[in-house]
Amino acid sequence: MQTEHDSGSGTTPEGDSAMPKPGQSEIRQRRQAREVALQAMYEIDCVQHKPGFVVDERLRATALGEHGAAFLRWLISGVMRNQAELDLLIGELAPDWPVKQLAVIDRSLLRLALYEIGAEASDAPPKVVINEAVELAKLYGSDSTPRFVNGVLGAALKRGIGTFE
């Protein structure tokens, strides 16, 4: 028997491995998709709903547009596939803050931004990704979240983070 927690398209949302280059409309859709991705990651982390279910529900509730929806699926799918590696990276970049003890918003923002910065298929400039993450941190995080996120992501840029599938 399926419940609302395990219905949907499975454990990871389907997404393309490559994203088309964005125009102005697509840039707006990406900005909105990053916000929806943060909300989805929060739900996945806190409530343990399956990623495919969460993404499907978020897409039903939000008018993202075709590019935004594809970007959302790509982002969530990539973070879920690379979560262990992303968490190790966060631990290296912020050694005084164990990943499991980070606030869910902080952890989710870092996972999303680090994946987007390091993904082979990403065409977003890293500074744009960092700026978007800091803006989301201001909206959803604590007073210290924007500075923390900016510091960790800045350290990632200086160090270099490798690439993710």
pLDDT of 74 reads 95
Output the CA–CA distances (angstroms, integers) from residue 136 to 19, 38, 52, in the order listed: 22, 8, 23
**For residue 112, which of 7, 40, 28 has the smallest C-alpha distance?**
40
> Letter for the amino acid at 68?
G
Instruction: Kindly state the tokens that stand for 1.
Output: 């028997």
Identify the DSSP state of 23: -
Please list the pLDDT of the chain residue by residue as tens digits (165 residues).
333 333 344 444 554 445 555 667 788 999 999 999 999 999 999 998 999 999 999 999 998 889 999 999 999 999 999 999 999 999 999 999 999 999 999 999 999 999 999 998 888 999 999 999 999 999 999 999 999 999 999 999 998 887 777
Look at residue 12 and give its three-state secondary structure.
Answer: coil
Domains of the chain in start order, with CATH, are 24-159 (1.10.940.10)
pLDDT of 22 reads 60
Chain-centroid distance, C-alpha 165:
14
List Cβ neighbours of 24 (8 Å cut-off, separation of 6 or more). Answer: none
pLDDT of 153 reads 96
